[in-house]
Amino acid sequence: MNIGVVGVNHNLAPISVREGVSFTDLQKIEAINYLLDKEIEEVVILSTCNRSEIYIQSKNIKEKIKMIEQFYESFFECPDVSNYLFTKSGREAIEHIYNVTSGLDSIVLGEDQILGQVKDAHVFSMQLGSSKKIFNKLFREAITTAKNMKSTTKISQQPLSISYIGVKFLEKRLGELEGKNALVIGVGKMSKLTMKHLEEEKVNTIYVSNRSHGKIKEIQHEYKNIVPIEYKDRYKVLNDVDMVISATASPHMVIKYEEMPKLQKQVYMMDIALPRDIDPKINDIENAEVYDIDDLKKIHDENNEKRKELANIGYEMISESINEFLEWVDSTHIDPTIESLNDKCLEIREDTLEYIFRKLNLDTREKKIIDKMMTSALKRLIREPIINLKQTKDKGKREEYMKLVEELFEL
């Protein structure tokens, strides 16, 4: 099976490594084009706050996997990344794709956000032409199976996204969130989820700051207690809040150590961005505590036991879907023979019709009738061989039958 995956994720690599090999969209385009030029047939790159993974479909898969390992080091100029890279190939790589898509390889078992991220990554590659027949089938099946698994098991019924866990984490630090004030930096998906969860916890005021101030006004009607803050004024409200949650797409720190004011009371800061938004040195400042994505692992186990039970059902569904996918891949080996049979029929049809129409004086209606009859007869001729090819599961017997068909029809 010529499918492989290489990358880093939360299972092995700390946040400092993951943020060093995080792909921007422009870097994805550059990387995909580079890898296609290296005779890799299909490429999908999945880059999230918890993982940076390159999926490939290619001949000489082991050789290409080694090339991807070297690519990570050179592309990001990060020699240490080799200590944290994982590689999988064949069925193991396919299982990884299914598990990731279903949220069974996430920090929060069964979380929903990754499903959309995988879908977006696949669409991105389709638009670049780097996801073709095999990967289009594989990723669509993985996405469909993930949806069916979640619907059947209800594994994602409880909202345990990173945003939700971050809010619950802060609740434990503060005792309760009701009546507290918060500063949220960013207005992306994770920030919106954070604001939703903060409202559910009856937070008093949610100050919101974003580099593009206009985007806050676009979402202001969705929440009751939002107070927009100019991005340049984000430090000014730190003494008015009890907590800060930052989730921007900025490549740089948005809360910097050297610009921090003196804090008059305890402020808890949750950084759920990657690369990180909040300078970890702020932990050295009096009345400041900074947490990041890796800290959320410490509480995720509390909500995980029931999900593990449900995940076993998911693994069974995934295994069935993978078996079907592998059967489909195996059956694609007969596609060239079927295509040749159809081409042969088309060639006979065109030659025969050209001769008949040249010899007989027929009107348009008569020509259409003869064309339909000829096409139908030729399809009947090749229908049985095609059915037998598709139904023969034994690989050896199928290869013998393919040779017989190719010799019989002079393909």
**Rounded to whole angstroms, how far apart are CA atoms 398 and 391?**
9
Average pLDDT over residues 281-292: 96
Task: Reply yes or no on whether the pLDDT at 259 is more than 80.
Answer: yes
Residue 104 is predicted with a pLDDT of 94
Average pLDDT over residues 22-39: 95
**Rounded to whole angstroms, how far apart are CA atoms 121 and 145?**
17
Lowest mean pLDDT among 184-198, 365-379, 396-410: 396-410
pLDDT digits 0-9 by tens, 358-382: 888 889 899 899 999 988 888 888 8
Higher pLDDT: 155 or 395? It is 155
Task: Reply yes or no on whether the pLDDT at 22 is more than 70.
Answer: yes
Enclosing H/E stretch for 46: strand 42-47
Higher pLDDT: 395 or 344? It is 344
Residue 160 is predicted with a pLDDT of 62
Residue 214 is predicted with a pLDDT of 81
Residue 300 is predicted with a pLDDT of 65
Q: How confident is the model at residue 136 (pLDDT cuts 50, 70, 90)?
A: very high
> Ranked by mean pLDDT, which of 255-264, 332-341, 360-369, 372-381 comes out on top?
255-264
Average pLDDT over residues 29-53: 96
Half-sphere exposure of 397 (CA within 13 A, CB side): 7
Average pLDDT over residues 3-10: 96
> CB under 8 Å to 371, separation ≥6 — which residues?
349, 353
Residue 332 is predicted with a pLDDT of 74
| pTM, 2 dp | 0.63
Average pLDDT over residues 30-56: 96
Respond yes or no: is residue 49 known to be catalytic: yes
Task: Reply yes or no on whether the pLDDT at 186 is more than 80.
Answer: yes
**Rounded to whole angstroms, how far apart are CA atoms 326 and 378?**
31
Residue 382 is predicted with a pLDDT of 83
Catalytic residue among 3, 17, 49, 81: 49
pLDDT digits 0-9 by tens, 90-119: 999 999 999 999 999 998 888 888 999 999
Q: C-alpha angle 42/45/49, rounded to 5°?
A: 165
pLDDT digits 0-9 by tens, 118-134: 999 999 999 999 999 99
Q: How confident is the model at residue 159 (pLDDT cuts 50, 70, 90)?
A: low
Residue 158 is predicted with a pLDDT of 58
Residue 99 is predicted with a pLDDT of 96
Cα–Cα distances in Å, from 50 out to 107, 234, 249, 346?
A: 8, 27, 14, 52
Sheet holding 205-209, edge to edge: 226-229, 205-209, 181-185, 243-246, 267-271, 288-292
